[in-house]
Amino acid sequence: MSTKKLLLYFPKSETEKPIVYHLVKDYNLIINIFRAKVTPEEYGYLVLDVTGTEEDIRRGMDFVRTFNVQIDEAQKGVRWEISKCTMCGNCIPHCPTKALHISDRSTMEVAFDSSLCIECLSCLQNCPYGACSSIF
Amino acid sequence: MKSYAEINSRIESGKAVVLTAEEIIDYVERKGLEEAAEEVDVVTTATFGPMCSSGCFLNFGHSQPRIRITQAWIDDVPAYCGVAAVDVYLGATELRRGDPANTYYPGEFRFGGGHVIEKLVAGEKLELHGLSYGTDDYPRREVRTTFTIKDLNQAVMVNPRNCYQNYNAAINCSDRPIFTYLGQLKPNGQNVSYSSAGQLSPLLNDPLYETIGIGTKVWLAGAQGHVYAEGTQHSPTCQRGANDVPTEGAGTLALTANMKEMKSEFVRGASLRGYGVSLALGIGIPIPILNPRVLKRTTVRDRDILAPLIDYSSDYPNRTGKVLCRLSYEELKRGEVEVEGRKVEASSMSSYAKARQIAQLLAEEIRRGDFLLAPPIRRLPLKQSASGLKIRERQR
């Protein structure tokens, strides 16, 4: 079993198909949805963890692609721009998973581990400098 | 014993020994105070954090025909016009026209004076809208144009209060989240927020203002500026530890510098949710090592500097003066403090990482011979305190 964090982009026409249902039912995948924006007549985004055997994940993703859904393993829904970050650390107590953290207490520099990010968006609300943003 | 002139001549010859207020701690421990005082010429201190008491004077030059501006907006942010015809003062905390503030609590405060100042320093294009009632000698009644900092005759940062010598740590003992200038505080004392560079902070390295005074040259966001007065609310008469370091907010500095020489990386508009807009500034101040006593002051460590922990849900707004406990910056920087036997997460509103960077940048400038020191022309007051506002009943 392995877990992958994925960002799915739904073109306008595909927002009303119960894709997640089929991933669970037909491909034995455990789905943990962090954040979704799926609006009828519009494009949509889904950020989720899929857990299953490598084979099931591969088959499930092939199924998803048949709906013209784009799968991005690298891109996340939340971005942290180091050039805008002043490294104050005000975000840190508000990040529930420690995705944002102080990497070294002697330099007090802030770092972002996007694999830990569950896209709760509290960093967006707490960063005074707009260093964290959401792509949707 | 060294004089300012001797230190400056060593700087000019490129031979000055300069260390940051962080580096000097181990250096003195290794070399001993007397030997280190002989060798070291300058210790650099620094801070970076939101400082609401900031702003700038701008002179636009005269249009044809002339206008005597009585109301002005820069990128829709109001600027104060109660000065000369085309001079304005833009304050860091000014909100943009139409900002709903806390109407939809907590407000976002996405753009205001601090952001305009950041854009200005970054060389970006801004819009000026000015109105006037018109006079015989200044007949124009409206002006609308775009400009960058290069178009201005003067853009001078004038900050009535910066570099607070120590500051409160904040906690929220109520049962709902609160939004303060120290950030969002979770209910039931779940987090502590503080704002000081601790052992790197300028006035904590010169607790009795022996070298930092009026006229002292400072590094203000990359520009060479100076201390022009005591800062507002300068209150040196306060509780101090055995090392004379205040254990609460105490001295402050009023700073000025030419914005045309600043670097935008160190001038950042800040949006503090539920509170308002502010401006974060990078400041570096060199301390001349005139004698071993001055050097000793610069070896202060985070563990020897205490901040008062204050409940921002009631004691701060109501000014009760109650201090829950005192926390050292060593504990605070570790990210976890103990409050009433409970472990609480701590974070900072000021950036220690940026303060370190600034202390290094200033040290390099001094080593290169590009930054000479200026002796103060007057010492900051050592005995005074800030009093509160009395609310007097109206006499009938």
- Chain B contact present for A126, CB below 8 A: yes
Residues from chain B that touch A128, judged by Cβ atoms under 8 A, are: 50, 183, 270-272, 278, 280, 349
Q: What does the pLDDT read at residue B243?
A: 95
CB nearest to A88's CB, from B269, B335, B351: B351
pLDDT tier at A19, thresholds 50, 70, 90: confident
Residue-wise pLDDT tens digits, B35-49 = 999 999 999 999 999
| Helix ranges, chain B (H) | 4-12, 23-31, 33-39, 113-121, 292-298, 315-318, 329-334, 352-367
Domain count, chain B: 1
Within chain B, what is the greatest distance between any pair of CA atoms? 72
pTM for the full model? 0.95
Region B163-169: mean pLDDT is 97
Q: Is the pLDDT of residue A17 over 80?
A: no
Q: Is residue B295 part of a domain?
A: no
Region B264-275: mean pLDDT is 98
- Chain A contact present for B193, CB below 8 A: yes
- Chain B contact present for A66, CB below 8 A: no
Q: Are B72 and B85 in contact (CB under 8 A)?
A: no
Domain interval for residue B112: 56-157
Q: Beta strands B306-311 and B342-348: pairing type?
A: unpaired
CB nearest to B184's CB, from A86, A88, A126: A126
Element (H, E) at A65: helix A54-65
Phi, psi of B50 (to 5 degrees): -65, 135
Q: How far apart are CA B129 and CA B139, in angstroms?
A: 16
Q: What does the pLDDT read at residue A38?
A: 80
Q: Do B345 and A93 touch (CB under 8 A)?
A: yes
Q: What does the pLDDT read at residue A27?
A: 96
- Chain A contact present for B49, CB below 8 A: yes
Residues from chain B that touch A110, judged by Cβ atoms under 8 A, are: 353
Q: Do B271 and A130 touch (CB under 8 A)?
A: yes
Domain boundaries, chain A: 2-72, 78-134
Q: Is residue B76 part of a domain?
A: yes
Q: Do A87 and B354 touch (CB under 8 A)?
A: yes
Which chain A residue has its CA at the smallest distance from B49's CA? A88
Residue-wise pLDDT tens digits, B365-391 = 999 999 999 999 999 999 999 999 999
**Superfamily designation of domain A2-72:** ACT domain (3.30.70.260)
Chain B closest-CA separation from residue A99 CA (Å):
15
Chain B closest-CA separation from residue A135 CA (Å):
18
Q: Is residue B82 part of a domain?
A: yes
Q: Is residue B207 part of a domain?
A: no
Q: Is residue B112 part of a domain?
A: yes
| A78-134 topology per CATH | Alpha-Beta Plaits (3.30.70)
Q: Do A102 and B335 touch (CB under 8 A)?
A: yes
Which chain A residue has its CA at the smallest distance from B196's CA? A88
Residues in chain B: 396
The A2-10 sheet, strands edge to edge: A30-38, A44-52, A2-10, A70-72
Q: Is residue B341 part of a domain?
A: no
Q: Is residue B162 part of a domain?
A: no
Interface A–B counts its CB contacts (< 8 A) at 71
